[in-house]
């Protein structure tokens, strides 16, 4: 039987933040390992999950390989909660299939519209990183297709596994994974909200409470004595006995609204953000100390607004996310928040979270504090980002590549000596020509 040629189509793509702006890329859509092998054989490609990384790690001008066609769930062991699935499976679909059976992802980012492959390649962290570690810790094995088209199953401790988890698609294509889920009695979360008047109070609240999940929303426009004030959300999976009679034990996701057209860029301007942040803070103060929230509104509040990234208009937005080691954290965070508040560039969203220890040779997390700031793309934004980079490096920090759209190669190397080892590994393994993204070229990885 003749094999169809598997031709490239052209598609308009960008990262989630819209920086770089959307452009046409040649895109191929394999449906199985055989298709993929032929594409890998043609060289110079990058795998793309659901494009929820903010910048350019899932873009390649020669060929971007859309993984959604390799999106099958293969086997589930209800005894130990291990699912075998292809890398293109969407996290939200995994939840839809397995939550009704009492299982939830052991690690999840703040959106369920990501693929397993994207979660593995970025080694994502969730609100439970300080207790449970990241995506890496949930994986039993992964199948990776290398530059020669051969597939290897690799497990924790082996070099291929360690580099691939957190390797941003640059070590090969992740085909399948075996990962462990967490048993849950319900699809509900018990959330406690603490309003903290300044950065010290926020950090103290995150430090002292050993909740399974924790994160803080910071009012990025508060300055002076209020600097760093925010709401600390602590969460835990609700037990069956926590539910009132008649409550749906495993509620389904509600479909979100979407933001239909590109908004004009003033929508997320300073006055609006100020009002929004104040509103969130007030609501927090008024909120009951503890409440039950369904899994979707707890873990994925932004998913409910659909394409909220379009609120930033055509110029898009960037996210600054770094992690600072424990010791210098308070000084560093004060400086970062101060610089962003002073920069006249309101960050509409500022999120602070405590991370657990470093794991793996190139993954982002390390013990300390991670701050993420969303910044609308304006004339002064690149300069502000450079200032933030410098502050982070001065305080021993490093950057999250899943959020990056504009870091410089030199800055990466200065922030993270592991980048050199990653480059050397790519060189030794003959991976540099085979797997490349706009990001890997910019960062000279």
Ligand X SMILES: Cc1cc2nc3c(=O)[nH]c(=O)nc-3n(C[C@H](O)[C@H](O)[C@H](O)COP(=O)(O)OP(=O)(O)OC[C@H]3O[C@@H](n4cnc5c(N)ncnc54)[C@H](O)[C@@H]3O)c2cc1C
What's the closest the beta carbon of residue 225 comes to ligand X, in angstroms?
29
Q: Which does 177 bind (CB under 5 to 8 A by kind): other proteins, ligand X, none?
A: none
Whether 130 and 355 have beta carbons less than 8 Å apart is answered as yes
Report the C-alpha gap between 261 and 144 in whole angstroms: 38
Whether 58 and 32 have beta carbons less than 8 Å apart is answered as no
Q: Would you state the torsion angle of the CA atoms of residues 139, 237, 368, 181, taken in this order, to the nearest 10 degrees?
A: 0
Find the binder of ligand X among 63, 112, 125, 237 (CB under 6 A): 125
What's the closest the beta carbon of residue 440 comes to ligand X, in angstroms?
8
Query: Does 233 help bind ligand X (rule: CB under 6 A)?
Result: no
Q: Which does 97 bind (CB under 5 to 8 A by kind): ligand X, other proteins, none?
A: other proteins
Nearer Cβ to other proteins, position 116 or 401? 116
Peptide bond between residue 80 and the one before it cis (omega within 30 degrees of 0): no
Whether 444 and 409 have beta carbons less than 8 Å apart is answered as yes
Residue span binding other proteins (CB under 8 A) among the ranges 27-35, 221-229, 292-300, 435-443: 27-35
Q: Which does 110 bind (CB under 5 to 8 A by kind): other proteins, ligand X, none?
A: ligand X
End-to-end Cα separation, the chain, in angstroms: 41
Q: Show Cβ contacts of residue 364 under 8 Å, excluding neighbours closer than 6 positions.
A: 122, 123, 125, 166, 323, 398, 399, 400, 401, 402
The pair phi, psi for residue 130, each rounded to 5°, is -60, -25
What's the closest the beta carbon of residue 246 comes to ligand X, in angstroms?
32
Report the C-alpha gap between 347 and 217 in whole angstroms: 12
What's the closest the beta carbon of residue 211 comes to other proteins, in angstroms?
32
Binding letters toward ligand X, positions 169-188, x by CB under 6 A: x---xx--------------
Query: Does 67 help bind ligand X (rule: CB under 6 A)?
Result: yes
Find the binder of ligand X among 94, 122, 139, 227 (CB under 6 A): 122
What's the closest the beta carbon of residue 27 comes to other proteins, in angstroms?
10
What tokens appear for 307 in the block?
Answer: 């394409």
Binding letters toward ligand X, positions 381-410, x by CB under 6 A: ---------------------x--------
Whether 86 and 326 have beta carbons less than 8 Å apart is answered as no
Query: Does 45 help bind ligand X (rule: CB under 6 A)?
Result: no
* Among the listed residues 364, 432, 428, the one whose alpha carbon sits nearest the alpha carbon of residue 402: 364
Q: Sheet harboring 398-399: ordered strands across?
A: 290-294, 188-196, 230-237, 213-218, 347-355, 368-376, 317-325, 398-399
Touching other proteins, residues 84-123 (CB under 8 A): 86, 93, 96-97
* Among the listed residues 192, 75, 209, 91, the one whose alpha carbon sits nearest the alpha carbon of residue 140: 75
What's the closest the beta carbon of residue 175 comes to ligand X, in angstroms?
7
Q: Which does 86 bind (CB under 5 to 8 A by kind): other proteins, ligand X, none?
A: other proteins
Nearer Cβ to ligand X, position 126 or 368? 126
HSE (side-chain half, CA atoms, 13 Å) at 154: 22
Q: Which does 16 bind (CB under 5 to 8 A by kind): other proteins, ligand X, none?
A: ligand X
Binding letters toward ligand X, positions 3-42, x by CB under 6 A: -------------x--------------------------
Report the C-alpha gap between 347 and 376 in whole angstroms: 7
Nearer Cβ to ligand X, position 68 or 277? 68
Contact residues for ligand X, defined by CB under 6 A: 16, 46-53, 57-58, 67, 87, 109-111, 114-115, 117-119, 121-122, 124-126, 168-169, 173-174, 302, 402, 437
């Amino acid at each position: 039987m003749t094999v169809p040629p598997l031709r490239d189509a052209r598609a308009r793509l960008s990262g989630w933040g819209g920086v770089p702006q959307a452009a046409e890329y040649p895109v191929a859509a394999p449906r199985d390992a055989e298709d993929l092998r032929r594409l890998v054989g043609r060289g110079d490609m990058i795998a793309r999950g659901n494009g929820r990384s903010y910048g350019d790690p899932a873009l390649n001008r020669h060929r971007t390989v859309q993984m959604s066609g390799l999106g099958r769930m293969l086997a589930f062991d209800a005894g130990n909660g291990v699912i075998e699935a292809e890398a293109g499976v969407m996290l939200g679909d995994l939840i839809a299939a397995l939550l009704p059976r009492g299982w939830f992802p052991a690690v999840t980012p703040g959106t369920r519209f990501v693929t397993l492959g994207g979660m593995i390649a970025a080694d994502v962290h969730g609100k439970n990183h300080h207790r449970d570690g990241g995506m890496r810790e949930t994986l039993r094995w992964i199948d990776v297709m290398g530059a020669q088209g051969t597939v290897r199953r690799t497990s924790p401790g082996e070099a291929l596994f360690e580099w691939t988890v957190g390797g941003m698609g640059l070590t090969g294509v992740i085909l399948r994974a075996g990962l462990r889920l967490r048993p849950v009695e319900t699809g509900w979360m018990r959330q406690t909200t603490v309003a903290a008047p300044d950065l010290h109070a926020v950090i103290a609240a995150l430090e002292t409470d050993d909740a399974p999940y924790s994160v803080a929303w910071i009012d990025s426009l508060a300055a002076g004595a209020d600097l760093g004030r925010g709401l600390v959300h602590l969460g835990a999976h609700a037990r069956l006995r926590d539910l009132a009679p008649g409550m749906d034990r495993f509620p389904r996701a509600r479909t979100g609204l979407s933001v239909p057209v590109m908004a004009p860029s003033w929508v997320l301007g300073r006055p609006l953000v100020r009002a929004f942040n104040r509103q969130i803070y007030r609501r927090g103060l008024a909120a009951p100390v503890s409440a039950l929230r369904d899994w979707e509104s707890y873990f994925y509040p932004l998913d409910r607004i659909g394409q909220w990234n379009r609120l930033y208009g055509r110029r898009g937005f960037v996210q600054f996310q770094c992690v600072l080691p424990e010791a210098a954290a308070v000084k560093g965070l004060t400086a970062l928040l101060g610089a962003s508040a002073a920069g006249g560039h309101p960050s509409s969203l500022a999120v602070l979270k405590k991370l657990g220890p470093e794991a793996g040779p190139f993954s982002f997390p390390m013990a300390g504090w991670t701050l993420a700031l969303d910044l609308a793309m304006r004339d002064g934004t690149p300069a502000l980002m450079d200032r933030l980079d410098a502050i982070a490096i001065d305080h021993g920090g490093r950057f999250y590549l899943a959020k990056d759209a504009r870091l410089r190669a030199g800055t990466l190397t200065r922030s993270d000596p592991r980048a050199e080892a990653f480059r050397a590994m790519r060189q030794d393994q003959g991976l540099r020509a085979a797997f490349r993204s706009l990001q890997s070229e910019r960062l000279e990885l």
